Amino acid sequence: MLKNIDPALNADVLHALRSMGHGDRIAIVDANFPADTIARHTRLGLPLHIANVSAARAVRAILSVMPLDTPLQPSAARLTPDGEAGELPAVQREVQAELVRADGILSKMYAIERFAFHEEAKRAYCIIVTGEARRFGSFLFTKGVVPPASHWHEAVAG
């Protein structure tokens, strides 16, 4: 165990999150998503797993260590039922609540229909499969930046 690290984050996921740079995207997907097929196209080339947790729980863990990109551009997307972009299923409302919890502001997720979502996920850094069994529990997030801590910056500069 590590201090201040969510226990849902395993070593493989932490390594991927740490390896990602500003602007890289991560797909967090439900158990029904064709993760192995799509992940072969990603930078990492294989799916990672945060097993036995809901999408919202996995998002909470990931956002505890990964900042989202600036609110000036969309940094959170959700897989939407075809032709139903306005509807938010319960799983998506739960993840939306985790976004608010992490950022303290309401950052709305933009909708991507299924096949377009698959294409976007292929361009992600990696895919993380959750234990989410409900439909439409798949999301894309864009990594932001962590500003330097003033004491770290002073130590390096001095």
Kindly report the pTM of this predicted structure: 0.89
Model confidence over 15-46: pLDDT tens digits?
A: 999 999 999 999 999 999 999 999 999 999 99
Number of domain units in the chain: 1
Tens digits of residue pLDDT in 52-96: 999 999 999 999 999 999 766 789 999 997 777 677 899 999 999
Give domain status of residue 3, yes or no: no
Helix (H) / strand (E) element for 71: namely none
Task: Tell me the mean pLDDT in the region 129-158.
Answer: 81
DSSP string, 115-149: HHHHHHHHTSSEEEEE---STT--EEEEB---PPP
Question: Are β-strands 139-142 and 25-29 bridged in parallel, bridged antiparallel, or unpaired?
Answer: antiparallel
> What is the extent of the structural domain holding 138?
11-157
Distances (CA, A) of 87 to 8, 78, 149: 29, 11, 40
Domain assignment present for residue 6? The answer is: no
DSSP state of 52: T
* 53 contacts: CB under 8 Å, gap ≥ 6: 8, 61, 130, 131, 132
Residue 116 CB coordination number (10 Å): 14
- What mean pLDDT is reported for the chain? 90
Residue 2 within any structural domain of the chain: no
| Residue 146 confidence class, pLDDT cut points 50, 70, 90 | confident
Q: Under 8 Å CB-to-CB from 42, ≥6 apart: which residues?
A: 27, 121, 122, 123, 124, 125, 126, 127
CATH code for the domain in which residue 59 is found: 3.40.1650.10
Domain membership of residue 21 (yes or no) is yes
